[in-house]
C-alpha cells in the first residue's frame, strides 16, 4: 500500500487486504474504520 510506516489491517501489518464493514485500517499514525456505503450493503437485498 506504499506507507513508509506500515499499513495495518485489524492490527496486523499487511501489504494488501480485503476490507469488510467495521474493519480498522491504520496507515502510519492515522487510524480509520471502513464502512461500506448503504447502496453497496443493500445491493443484494429484495426487489420490493
Question: Are the C-beta atoms of 28 and 3 separated by less than 8 Å?
Answer: yes
The answer as to whether 21 is a domain residue is yes
Question: Are the C-beta atoms of 41 and 21 separated by less than 8 Å?
Answer: yes
The answer as to whether 25 is a domain residue is yes
The answer as to whether 46 is a domain residue is no
How many domains does one find in the chain? 1
The pLDDT score that the predictor gives to residue 46 is 54
Question: Which residues, 6+ apart, have CB-to-CB distance to 23 below 8 Å?
Answer: 9, 10, 17, 33, 34
Q: Specify the pTM.
A: 0.58
Residue 2: pLDDT band (50, 70, 90) is low
Amino acid at each position: 500500500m506504499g506507507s513508509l510506516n506500515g499499513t495495518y489491517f485489524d492490527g496486523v501489518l499487511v501489504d494488501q487486504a480485503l476490507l469488510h464493514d467495521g474493519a480498522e485500517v491504520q496507515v502510519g499514525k492515522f487510524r480509520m474504520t471502513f464502512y461500506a456505503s448503504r447502496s453497496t450493503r443493500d445491493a443484494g437485498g429484495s426487489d420490493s
